[in-house]
């Protein structure tokens, strides 16, 4: 397993775990092994056990002055209206939810537990809690937080160690990532339709009428069981990207049980599939333009300057007709080059890596392109994938009620090619994944969190995956949201700078809400 490669990238930029939220394909870190031990029965006290093997597997060691404990809790597969459904798919059955608690040996004046979700959907909260426990030098949480809170990560239902969904073959995932991101001909477009149908059919055959049970509202109800399992009367929560949607749903369902929620990289719950996909196309196009401007101004660090857009576009176009073959025989098709670009835009620190990868590809070496794309895809050196994208589709498609026709998607592919030339067609075609998905739907609520305390909603002006425009919309929808803005680049903000860190820490520890309209500079 190529864990070390993924961990090095993760510890440097853990925010990459907060994944895209449209109905196409996306990144994260989820090991292929499941947790061990029996889950505590629903409603009973969990049995926490030491689990230093988890950080050992992910990082090779535990963080200094940090202890790790794990447990598993059982939750109803179908919560119904909150008390457990007595009829229908999954009635009387349970899912197992895996939890990890990182506790500092220097803990003092303990506030409680800080529950983490990294996004996706499909990202592992267990993994992310481990990464965050390593502190600021690795992009993790500051000591001001780890010395006051237990850091608790959980894998949502269907994800990694928590009754994982697994129904997409490695071969089909390779085909999906490697596919032309803009299948222009009708036959190429139909080929992607066929691939999406095959993936959907396989998952439908395996999970049938229980597919809607992986939706966000069910997972938000699980989160209240997590709150109870850690012994807190009210929830303190840090959610990134899709994790903001999960947190917002919790706030609507259990407003009186909220202590403090930080929602970083906001998803607008009221936008539907088409609107959300176009929003991401716009966001990635804007981030890519910022990358090209950086290249032009930093030619010494950007070997594809002065016209980085032309270099990347040319690389993708060439890969469509004559992909570079690596030493292992694997071909860097247009899809793999495209996902290397996507991967690199999640953090500003990835820009130089992208420029170098495109430059080496032009010289006949695709190794860095594959490294970037594989980090995004969760693809190991042996070609095996985690269940990240299986879970991503199961959750996204359970949530989504909108189903544009293939003809509408084909039209949007053309329209968005003109508006967002590099990313528009791929985000349009990516909607086929949910359009061709079987099973029913279980949409989450989109209303106010009446009775909840102020909730901090953090947005980054240069965020490609959850564009900044969604931040005030989420805050407004909740009715109790307070916007905190970072004028930076990349996906998610906390704890990137002292301004953001100080504001969020004060809220989490002392419940001091940031001033209305607070904006933090990029550096």
> Do 298 and 149 reside in the same domain of the chain?
no
> Do 304 and 419 reside in the same domain of the chain?
yes
φ, ψ at 30 (rounded to 5°): -140, 110
Q: How confident is the model at residue 135 (pLDDT cuts 50, 70, 90)?
A: very high
The residue among 13, 227, 3 whose CA lies nearest residue 131 is 13
Q: Give the span between the Cα atoms of 104 and 274, in whole angstroms.
A: 44
> Do 351 and 498 reside in the same domain of the chain?
no
Counting the structural domains of the chain, the total is: 2
Residue 468, domain extent: 104-164+216-269+445-520
What are the distances in angstroms from CA 493 to CA 132, 264, 353, 457? Answer: 14, 7, 21, 11
Q: Last residue of a domain, which of 434, 457, 486?
A: 434
> Do 109 and 245 reside in the same domain of the chain?
yes
Alpha helices in 230-323 (DSSP H): 242-253, 273-297, 308-321
Residue 5 has pLDDT above 90, yes or no: no
DSSP 317-355: HHHHHSPEE-TTS-EE-HHHHHHHHHHHTTSTTHHHHHH
Question: Per the domain annotation, does 42 fall within a domain?
Answer: no
Mind listing the pLDDT tens digit for each residue in 232-274? Answer: 999 999 999 999 999 999 999 999 999 999 999 999 999 999 9
Tokens of 203: 């998952």
Residue 301 is predicted with a pLDDT of 97
φ, ψ at 382 (rounded to 5°): -85, 5
Q: Give the span between the Cα atoms of 103 and 51, in whole angstroms.
A: 12
Q: Give the span between the Cα atoms of 173 and 516, in whole angstroms.
A: 44
Residue 305 has pLDDT above 60, yes or no: yes
CATH number at residue 489: 3.40.50.1820
Mind listing the pLDDT tens digit for each residue in 76-99? Answer: 999 986 556 666 777 889 999 999
Question: Per the domain annotation, does 308 fall within a domain?
Answer: yes
- Please name every residue paired with 455 in a beta bridge, in sequence order, or none if there are none: 481
| 228 contacts 74 by C-beta, under 8 angstroms | no
Q: What is the pTM of this model?
A: 0.92
Question: Per the domain annotation, does 488 fall within a domain?
Answer: yes
Question: Per the domain annotation, does 364 fall within a domain?
Answer: yes
> Do 245 and 332 reside in the same domain of the chain?
no
Q: What residues act catalytically? A: 241, 463, 491
Q: Specify the DSSP element, H or E, that contains 172.
A: helix 170-178
> Do 186 and 236 reside in the same domain of the chain?
no
Question: Per the domain annotation, does 18 fall within a domain?
Answer: no
The residue among 277, 318, 311 whose CA lies nearest residue 291 is 311
Question: Per the domain annotation, does 495 fall within a domain?
Answer: yes
> Do 283 and 354 reside in the same domain of the chain?
yes
Residue 515 is predicted with a pLDDT of 96
DSSP 83-100: T--SSSTTTT-EEEEEEE
Q: For strands 94-104 and 149-154, give the pairing.
A: antiparallel
Mind listing the pLDDT tens digit for each residue in 312-342? Answer: 999 999 999 999 999 999 999 999 999 999 9
Q: Give the span between the Cα atoms of 127 and 100, in whole angstroms.
A: 8
The four Cα atoms 518, 466, 474, 95 give a dihedral, to 10 degrees, of -130
CA 482 and chain centroid, separation: 22
Residue 484 is predicted with a pLDDT of 98
> Do 144 and 288 reside in the same domain of the chain?
no
Q: Last residue of a domain, which of 385, 409, 434?
A: 434
> Do 116 and 236 reside in the same domain of the chain?
yes
> Do 363 and 258 reside in the same domain of the chain?
no
Question: Per the domain annotation, does 129 fall within a domain?
Answer: yes
Q: How confident is the model at residue 497 (pLDDT cuts 50, 70, 90)?
A: very high
> Do 226 and 351 reside in the same domain of the chain?
no
Question: Per the domain annotation, does 6 fall within a domain?
Answer: no
| 270 contacts 473 by C-beta, under 8 angstroms | yes
Q: What is the mean pLDDT of residues 451-457?
A: 98
> Do 342 and 415 reside in the same domain of the chain?
yes
């Amino acid at each position: 397993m190529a864990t070390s490669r993924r961990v090095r990238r993760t510890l440097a930029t853990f925010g990459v775990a907060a994944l895209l939220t449209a109905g196409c394909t996306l990144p994260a870190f989820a090991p292929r092994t499941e947790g061990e031990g029996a889950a505590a029965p629903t409603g009973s006290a969990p049995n926490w056990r030491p689990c230093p093997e988890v950080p050992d597997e992910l990082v090779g060691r535990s963080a200094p002055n940090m202890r790790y404990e794990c447990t598993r809790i059982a939750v109803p597969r179908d919560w119904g209206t909150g008390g457990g459904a007595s009829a229908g798919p999954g009635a009387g059955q349970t899912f197992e939810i895996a939890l990890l608690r990182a506790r500092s040996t220097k803990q003092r004046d303990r506030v409680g537990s800080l529950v983490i979700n990294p996004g996706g959907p499909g990202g592992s909260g267990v993994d992310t809690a481990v990464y965050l426990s390593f502190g600021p030098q690795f992009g993790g949480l500051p000591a001001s937080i780890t010395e006051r809170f237990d850091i608790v990560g959980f894998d949502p239902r269907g994800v990694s160690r928590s009754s994982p969904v697994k129904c997409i073959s490695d071969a089909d995932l390779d085909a999906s990532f490697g596919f032309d991101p803009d299948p222009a001909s009708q036959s190429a477009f139909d080929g992607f339709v066929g691939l999406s149908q095959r993936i959907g059919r396989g998952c439908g055959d395996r999970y049938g009428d229980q597919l809607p049970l992986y939706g966000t509202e069910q997972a938000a109800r699980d989160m209240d069981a997590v709150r109870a399992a850690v012994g807190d009367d009210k929830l303190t929560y840090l959610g990134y990207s899709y994790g903001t949607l999960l947190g917002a749903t919790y706030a609507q369902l259990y407003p009186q049980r909220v202590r403090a929620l930080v929602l970083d990289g906001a998803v607008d719950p009221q936008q539907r599939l088409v609107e959300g996909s176009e929003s991401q196309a716009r966001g990635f196009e804007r981030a890519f333009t910022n990358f090209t401007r950086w290249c032009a101004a930093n030619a010494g660090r950007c070997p594809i300057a002065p016209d980085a857009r032309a270099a990347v576009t040319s690389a993708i176009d060439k890969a469509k007709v004559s992909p570079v073959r690596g030493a292992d025989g694997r071909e860097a098709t247009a899809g793999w080059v495209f996902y290397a670009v996507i991967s690199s835009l999640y953090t500003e620190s990835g820009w130089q890596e992208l420029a170098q990868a495109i430059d080496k590809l032009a010289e006949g070496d695709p190794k860095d392109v594959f490294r970037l794309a594989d980090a995004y895809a969760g693809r190991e050196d042996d070609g095996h994938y985690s269940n990240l994208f299986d879970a991503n589709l199961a959750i996204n498609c359970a949530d989504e009620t909108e189903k544009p026709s293939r003809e509408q998607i084909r039209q949007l592919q053309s329209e968005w090619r003109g508006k967002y030339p590099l990313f528009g067609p791929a985000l349009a075609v990516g909607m086929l994944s949910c359009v061709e998905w079987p099973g029913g739907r279980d949409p989450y609520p989109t209303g106010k969190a009446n009775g909840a305390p102020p909730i901090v909603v953090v947005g980054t002006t240069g965020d490609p995956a959850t564009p900044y425009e969604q931040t005030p919309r989420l805050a407004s929808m909740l009715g109790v949201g307070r916007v905190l803005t970072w004028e930076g680049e990349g996906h998610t903000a906390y704890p990137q700078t002292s301004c953001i860190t100080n504001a969020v820490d004060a809220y989490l520890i002392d419940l001091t809400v940031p001033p209305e309209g607070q904006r933090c500079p990029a550096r």
